[in-house]
């Protein structure tokens, strides 16, 4: 029997169904996503790869409820979020998903602890001190809570950003090139941290990366090209991913 849309994503914590996203209209329209379907099972680590401009960031933003698709839908478990009113979505987003950016996006004038508390405060909550310290301890930053971001290394700043994303204990963590601004050794520490969250805490992780070695930490690679999933690679190795990427480049 043919698989229905619901079969494809049964049990997924996050799912994109025939996602389209256009920017602008008419002849100036850019079709960033042209029909992407993908499901993310609990406790899995997916790397999203593809050439610059292939739609990776747009896909991540739509999956995380930070952008709205033009057509198609996004689901978190059994809840469709792509058409949810903004206020309800913002509330749900805070408890369900975390997001980490390449450039850390920390507030330089605030302490590490204040940065981690910020999303909760903006939502009118006071996240318990215990939760904040626990989140910092989990990323290896115990004792750093009074420091300012500028007093920390790049890798430590990204750890603060991860603690901020995880303080509400979301089931899914999205990361857009989280190691893009870091040297290789520091990048591997961050990747090991993301991997441990999947293996030890059962979190789901979806990460955009350009680096085949980083993709080797994932269980699966989704290779995007021109707004579509061009290929899916299970149990990726750096060598295999590198080979597929270069083949995609030749075909372009
Ligand atoms: N806010 C925007 N306005 C107009 N075009 C955009 C916007 N965001 C992304 N795009 C375009 O959509 C396409 C996909 O972009 P993006 O998702 O950022 O790709 P990637 O992350 O793979 O580099 C690109 O052509 C990009 O220029
Ligand atoms: Mg991008």
Nearest ligand 1 atom to the CA of 21 is 12
DSSP code per residue over 39-71: EE-TT-EEEEE-STTSSHHHHHHHHTTSS--SE
**Averaged pLDDT score across all residues of the chain:** 93
Q: For position 63, what pLDDT does the model report? A: 98
pTM score: 0.94
Residue 109 and residue 183: Cα distance in Å, rounded? 25
Nearest ligand 1 atom to the CA of 24 is 4
pLDDT digits (tens, 9 = 90+) for 219-230: 999 999 999 999
Distances (CA, A) of 170 to 62, 158, 165: 17, 18, 8
Q: From atom 16 of ligand 1, which residue's Cα is the shortest distance away?
A: 55
**Residue 24: partners with Cβ closer than 8 Å, 6 or more residues away:** 30
Q: 136: buried, middle or exposed (CB in 10 Å: 19+, 13-18, 0-12)?
A: buried
DSSP code per residue over 87-108: HHHHHHHHHHEEEE-TT----T
Any idea which ligand is nearest the CA of 103?
2
pLDDT of residue 7 exceeding 60: no
Q: Kindly list the structural domains of the chain, giving each domain's residue range(s) and its CATH number in brackets, ordered by start.
A: 14-103+171-249 (3.40.50.300)
| CB 120, CB 127: distance < 8 Å | yes
Q: For position 248, what pLDDT does the model report? A: 82
- Cβ atoms within 10 Å of 126's Cβ, excluding its own: 8
- Protein residues with CB under 6 Å of any ligand 1 atom: 23, 30, 32, 50, 52-58
The number of CA neighbours under 13 Å toward the Cβ of 100 is 32
- Cβ atoms within 10 Å of 127's Cβ, excluding its own: 18
pLDDT digits (tens, 9 = 90+) for 50-87: 999 999 999 999 999 999 999 999 999 999 999 999 99
| CB 242, CB 212: distance < 8 Å | yes
Give me the phi and psi of 73, to 5 degrees please. -140, 160
The two beta strands, 172-176 and 97-100, are: parallel
Candidate from 24, 29, 58 with most ligand 1 atoms within 8 A of CB, to mutate: 58
| CB 46, CB 218: distance < 8 Å | yes
């Amino acid at each position: 029997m043919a698989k229905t849309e619901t079969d494809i994503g049964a049990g997924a914590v996050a799912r994109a169904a025939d996602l389209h996203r256009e920017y602008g209209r008419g002849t100036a329209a850019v079709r960033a996503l042209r029909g992407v379907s993908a499901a993310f099972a609990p406790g899995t680590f997916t790397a999203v790869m593809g050439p610059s401009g292939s739609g990776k960031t747009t896909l991540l933003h739509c999956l995380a409820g930070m952008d709205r698709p033009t057509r198609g839908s996004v689901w978190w478990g059994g809840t469709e979020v792509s058409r949810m009113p903004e206020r309800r979505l913002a509330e749900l987003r805070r408890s369900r998903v975390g997001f980490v950016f390449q450039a850390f996006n920390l507030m330089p004038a605030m302490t590490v602890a204040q940065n981690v508390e910020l999303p909760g405060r903006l939502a009118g909550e006071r996240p318990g001190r215990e939760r904040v310290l626990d989140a910092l301890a989990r990323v290896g930053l115990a004792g750093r809570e009074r420091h300012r971001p500028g007093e920390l290394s790049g890798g430590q700043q990204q750890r603060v950003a991860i603690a901020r994303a995880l303080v509400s204990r979301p089931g899914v963590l999205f990361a857009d090139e989280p190691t893009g601004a870091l040297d290789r050794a520091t990048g591997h520490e961050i990747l090991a941290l993301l991997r441990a969250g999947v293996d030890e805490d059962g979190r789901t992780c979806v990460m955009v990366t350009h680096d085949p070695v980083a993709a080797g930490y994932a269980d699966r690679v989704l290779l995007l090209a021109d707004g579509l999933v061009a290929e899916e690679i299970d149990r990726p190795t750096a060598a295999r991913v590198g080979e597929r990427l270069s083949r995609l480049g030749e075909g372009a």
